[in-house]
Amino acid sequence: MIYFNNVSKVYNKDSLVLNDITLTITSGEFVSIVGHSGAGKTTLVKMILADDVPTEGTVFFESINIFKLKDGDLTKLRRRIGVVFQDFKLLGNKTAYENIAFAMEAVGKTNEEIESDVPHVLELVDLGSKMFNFPHQMSGGEQQRLAIARAIINQPELIIADEPTGNLDAINTYEIVQILKKINDLGTTVILTTHNRGVIDSIGKRVITMEKGRIIRDDKDSKNTI
């Protein structure tokens, strides 16, 4: 599904953020990318969205060279990807229902589709009772679950979760991980970046370890990382 071919990224001529990354992620995988702050995790996933451009190398989504896409085609590609951020990025003046409806409206979904699908996805992330709450009326864990619901509402092929548990306590972290596993079980590819070893141990899937812009380990099972 995703292929990094000898990708490097240099900032300001002296700062090497990614160093000759070659990596394949297949459809349906759950891949955790781990490493300390500054290891290159976020830069790596930004490449998939074309939010950052390699200094050298190429990134493919299926057979598509992401960095040769025109703006319209890049927009279409991004609609195939759902993104969950550490800081939620919810619309504070909209309810939980309206946050998700807004994401559906952006891709041209009908009112009937919105009215049918929004309650369903809120139930999937255990927020059915919070449908008409605003983000400030929800806990951090609830806000992150809402962010996940928004990311999956248009049925993307890939979910990128960039440090989604970084601001959460242990209980909420566990709940977020269980929801991501559920999404993966339904067939969606998931890429999770984290520095939390406990998170990846609870997933039990492939783990890529980064250090100073390089991939230093690629384990098919998180149990092999210890």
Q: At 84, is the secondary structure helix, strand, or coil?
A: strand
Characterise 161 by phi-psi region: left (phi > 0), alpha (psi -120 to 50), beta (else): beta
Given this model, what pLDDT does residue 222 score? 63
Query: Are the C-beta atoms of residues 29 and 158 closer than 8 Å to each other?
Result: no
Q: What per-residue string of b and e applies to 66-84 under the rule 16 or more CB within 10 Å gives b?
A: beebeeeebeebbeebbbb
Given this model, what pLDDT does residue 197 score? 81
pLDDT tens-digit readout, 201-216: 889 899 999 999 999 9
Given this model, what pLDDT does residue 84 score? 93
pLDDT tens-digit readout, 146-178: 999 999 999 999 999 999 988 888 889 999 999
Across 79-88, average pLDDT: 91
DSSP state of 166: T
Confidence check: pLDDT of 226 > 90: no
Given this model, what pLDDT does residue 103 score? 95
Q: Which residues make beta-bridge pairs with 24?
A: 3
Domains and CATH numbers, the chain: 1-80+188-226 (3.40.50.300), 81-155 (no CATH)
Query: Are the C-beta atoms of residues 143 and 100 closer than 8 Å to each other?
Result: no
Q: Strand pairing of 64-65 and 2-11?
A: unpaired
Across 27-48, average pLDDT: 94
Given this model, what pLDDT does residue 54 score? 96
Token output for 13: 């001529």
CA distance 194 to 80: 22
pTM of the model: 0.91
Characterise 49 by phi-psi region: left (phi > 0), alpha (psi -120 to 50), beta (else): alpha
pLDDT band, residue 223 (cuts 50/70/90): low
Would you mind telling me the total number of residues written for the chain in this entry? 226
CA distance 217 to 208: 6
Given this model, what pLDDT does residue 225 score? 54
